[in-house]
């Protein structure tokens, strides 16, 4: 038995023979061309055919995995049609008098290197998109038609890497799971694996050895482990784990479409947290009743410039429309602390968690803040939107925020731009906000407890400092008392109270929160049905809870 580790990007257990997929690499060489115009025309013809092919892939992906994930192929189209890309290819053909294949490969290598060198992990992953899109174009130039990965029996696939286009075309009846040597948890291939619900491991420390071909293999997507030729005891243990997981999965599917109501009739809203637009399909697939935390900072982290009002509006609108009338709570910009953006030019701080971050930046850079608020309010014309402000610590801040909001609404009204009224809420993330929550509740429509920071600030422990792990206790009595206080103060002033931090998905605390009277719990999409199962089996009057 051989045990190999990697990064699990989608849970589940897959058991079956291993099939190795090797790409047929062909070296791209420069060759002189005499007729420059004909070579450029050959490039443009191949480009047009490739764009058509990507459109077919997009349409298939929309049908199979939803349009949010299908946007991968729209991005590939945009990359190939981008004037910077096409002009670079043509310029190389013209000035160096070389073949189109060489010009495409040189341009793609340059662009992918630029992406790969970026600080932001999401942007680094775009280097793989450049390579995937350009390889498709190169195949067209070389007269090669892209084919599906075929296997003769249900198998676990092992490859150096899988391009998004290869992943979306996998025959799910034949591919039990896959393992790649390259890739990360943020890659499009990983996102597709989660959406298609295929057990998958990336970044595995494994060679594509011929001797592995056909060997019985188990991949554990939860642990990120690959077992090649497992011993009988290990195999039986993993089969049991697989059976338990599938049984639990079937049970949870039965909860789809049900309201989250306790046995004694208390309705709890179970919402989902998302980090960007691509997560919405997961929210819908897991039957969340709304979005309790839309982290808007992804728009800033993924850009090399301040996102415009229009860019933000389109992102918010996309999410709001997809949720079809379900509530979407958009958190305003939460940059700072561990989330750095170069173009913000923030100074280094000795203790950034206690520094210039979140609402403090927004109240200091009001034009930046107003741009975001305008975009959010514009999106409210297309669905049910609420706005949530992070890191509030005083009543004065809330009053200033409401003033700015009123100014933005007046501007939009004067410009005759459609918008709907939106609930205004604040995150309770500091002991200061919790202790004056009775005052704050009079000025807002809801509270959402950010338990990650609330725990960190209450215990005076940096949650990212591993040396302090043994002292960090998210179940600390002080933290739970603060949460209870916030719920009581919120309810006494007629507003609802939710939790969007990690504790919301801690099933060992669900009963405690329900007894406190919490109205909403917002968790990662994959936790929604598990949490609903806990809620619908809870009875407030049962003393054994």
Catalytic residues: 188, 500
pLDDT above 60 for 543: no
pLDDT in tens, 502-515: 899 889 999 999 99
Token pair recorded at residue 471: 């002292």
Structure tokens at 241: 């784990």
Strands 225-228 and 496-499: unpaired
pTM of the model: 0.63
Lowest-confidence segment of 184-198, 515-529, 531-545 by average pLDDT: 184-198
Owner of token pair 């890739």 = 183
pLDDT (tens digit per residue) in 6-15: 988 888 899 9
Best-predicted range by mean pLDDT among 128-137, 275-284, 413-422?
413-422
Looking at residues 53-72, what average pLDDT do you find? 76
- As a whole number of angstroms, the distance between CA 178 and CA 162 comes to 9
pLDDT at 311 over 60: yes
Q: Is 298 helix (H, G, I), strand (E, B) or coil?
A: helix
* % of the chain with per-residue pLDDT over 70: 92
Is 481 marked as a binding-site residue? no
The alpha-helical segments, DSSP class H, found in 169-322 are: 188-196, 232-253, 280-285, 298-301, 309-322
248 marked ligand binding residue: no
- How confident is the model over 314-342, as a mean pLDDT? 85
Angle of the 67-81 helix axis to the 83-96 helix axis, nearest 10: 30
Residue 374 marked as a ligand binder: no
What is the rounded distance in angstroms from the CA atom of residue 301 to the CA atom of residue 298?
Answer: 5
* Sheet order of strands, 225-228 included: 2-5, 225-228, 216-220, 13-21, 155-159, 175-180, 200-202, 7-10
Is 463 one of the annotated binding-site residues?
yes
Query: Would you place residue 545 in the very low, low, confident or very high pLDDT band (cuts 50, 70, 90)?
Result: low
Strands (DSSP E) contained in 471-519 are: 496-499
Domains contained in the chain, CATH given? 2-23+148-240 (3.50.30.10), 36-141 (1.10.274.10), 258-536 (3.20.20.60)
Q: Is 456 helix (H, G, I), strand (E, B) or coil?
A: helix
**DSSP secondary structure letters along 257-295:** T---B-TTS-B-EEEEEESSGGGHHHHHHTT-SEEEEEE
Q: Which two tokens stand for residue 233?
A: 């005891």
Work out the angle between the directed axes of helices 83-96 and 100-116 (0-180°, nearest 10).
Answer: 130
* 372 pLDDT higher than 70: yes
What spatial distance separates the first Cα and last Cα of the chain, rounded to whole Å? 44
| pLDDT at residue 317 tops 60 | yes
Q: Is 254 annotated as a binding residue?
A: no
Residue 228 φ/ψ region, left for φ over 0, alpha for ψ in the -120 to 50 degree band, beta for the rest: beta
Q: Cα(74)–Cα(211) distance, rounded to whole angstroms?
A: 39
Q: What per-residue confidence (pLDDT) applies to 467? A: 78
Asked if residue 389 has pLDDT above 70, the reply is yes
pLDDT band at 158 (very low <50, low <70, confident <90, very high): very high
pLDDT confidence tier of residue 37, bands split at 50, 70 and 90: very high
pLDDT for 6 equals 92
Residue-averaged pLDDT of the chain: 87
What number is the average pLDDT over the span 145-162? Answer: 79
Rounded-to-integer distance, Cα 25 and Cα 37, Å: 28
DSSP 325: T
Q: Residue 13, SS3?
A: strand
Tell whether 360 is in a known binding site.
no
Which pLDDT score is estimated for 125?
67
Residues with Cβ within 8 Å of residue 35, at least 6 apart in sequence: none
- In whole angstroms, what separates CA 178 from the centre of its chain? 21
**Assigned token pair, 126:** 């775009």
Lowest mean pLDDT among 173-177, 436-440, 540-544: 540-544
267 strand-pairing partners? 261
Work out the pLDDT band at 355, boundaries 50, 70, 90.
confident
The arithmetic mean of pLDDT across residues 35-39, rounded, is 93
Which pLDDT does position 349 carry in this prediction? 64
Q: Taking 60 as the threshold, does the pLDDT of residue 147 lie above it?
A: no
Residue 280 has pLDDT above 60, yes or no: yes
Q: Look at residue 366 and tell me whether its pLDDT is greater than 80.
A: yes
């Amino acid at each position: 038995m051989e045990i190999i580790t990697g990064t699990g990007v989608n849970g589940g257990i897959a058991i079956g023979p291993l099939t190795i997929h090797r790409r047929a690499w062909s070296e791209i060489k420069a060759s002189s061309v005499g007729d420059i115009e004909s070579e450029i025309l050959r490039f443009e013809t191949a480009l047009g055919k490739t764009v058509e092919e990507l459109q077919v892939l997009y349409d298939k992906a929309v049908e199979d995995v939803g349009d949010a994930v299908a946007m991968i192929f729209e991005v590939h189209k945009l990359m190939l049609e981008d004037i910077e890309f096409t002009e670079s290819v043509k310029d190389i053909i013209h000035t160096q008098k070389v073949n189109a294949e060489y010009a495409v490969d040189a341009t793609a290598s340059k662009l992918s290197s630029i992406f790969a060198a970026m600080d932001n992990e999401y942007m680094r992953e775009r280097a793989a998109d450049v390579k995937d899109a350009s390889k498709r174009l190169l195949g067209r130039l070389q007269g090669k038609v892209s084919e599906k990965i075929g296997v003769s029996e249900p198998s676990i696939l092992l490859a150096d890497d899988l391009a998004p286009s290869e992943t979306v075309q996998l025959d799910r009846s034949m591919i039990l799971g896959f393992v790649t040597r390259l890739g990360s948890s943020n890659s499009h291939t990983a996102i597709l694996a989660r959406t298609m619900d295929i057990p998958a491991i990336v970044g595995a420390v494994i060679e594509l050895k011929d001797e592995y071909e056909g060997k019985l293999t188990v991949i554990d997507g939860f642990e990120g482990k690959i077992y090649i030729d497992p011993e009988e005891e290990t195999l039986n243990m993993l089969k049991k784990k697989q059976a338990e997981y599938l049984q639990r999965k079937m049970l949870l599917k039965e909860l789809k479409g049900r309201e989250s109501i306790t046995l004694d009739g208390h309705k709890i809203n179970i919402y989902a947290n998302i980090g960007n637009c691509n997560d919405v399909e997961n929210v819908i697939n897991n039957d969340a009743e709304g979005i309790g935390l839309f982290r808007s900072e992804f728009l800033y982290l993924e850009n090399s410039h301040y996102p415009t009002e229009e860019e933000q509006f389109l992102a918010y609108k996309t999410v709001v429309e997809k949720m079809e009338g379900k509530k979407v709570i958009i958190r305003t910009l939460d940059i700072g602390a561990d989330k750095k953006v170069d173009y913000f030019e923030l100074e280094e701080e000795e203790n950034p968690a206690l520094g210039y971050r979140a609402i403090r930046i927004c109240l200091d850079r009001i034009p930046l803040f107003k741009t975001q608020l305008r975009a959010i309010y514009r999106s409210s014309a297309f669905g049910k939107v609420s706005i949530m402000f992070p890191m509030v610590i005083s009543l004065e801040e809330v009053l200033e925020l409401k003033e700015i909001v009123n100014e933005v609404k007046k501007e939009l009204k004067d410009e005759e731009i459609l918008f709907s009224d939106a609930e205004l809420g604040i995150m309770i993330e500091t002991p200061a906000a919790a202790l004056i929550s009775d005052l704050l509740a009079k000025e807002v429509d809801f509270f959402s407890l950010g338990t990650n920071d609330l725990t960190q600030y209450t215990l005076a422990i940096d949650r990212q400092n591993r040396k302090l792990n043994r002292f960090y206790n998210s179940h600390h009595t002080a933290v739970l008392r603060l949460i209870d206080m916030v719920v009581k103060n919120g309810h006494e002033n007629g507003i609802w109270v939710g939790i969007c931090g990690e504790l919301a998905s801690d099933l060992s605390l669900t009963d405690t929160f329900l007894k406190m009277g919490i109205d909403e719990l917002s968790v990662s999409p994959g936790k929604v049905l598990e949490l609903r199962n806990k809620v619908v089996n809870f009875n407030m009057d049962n003393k054994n809870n």
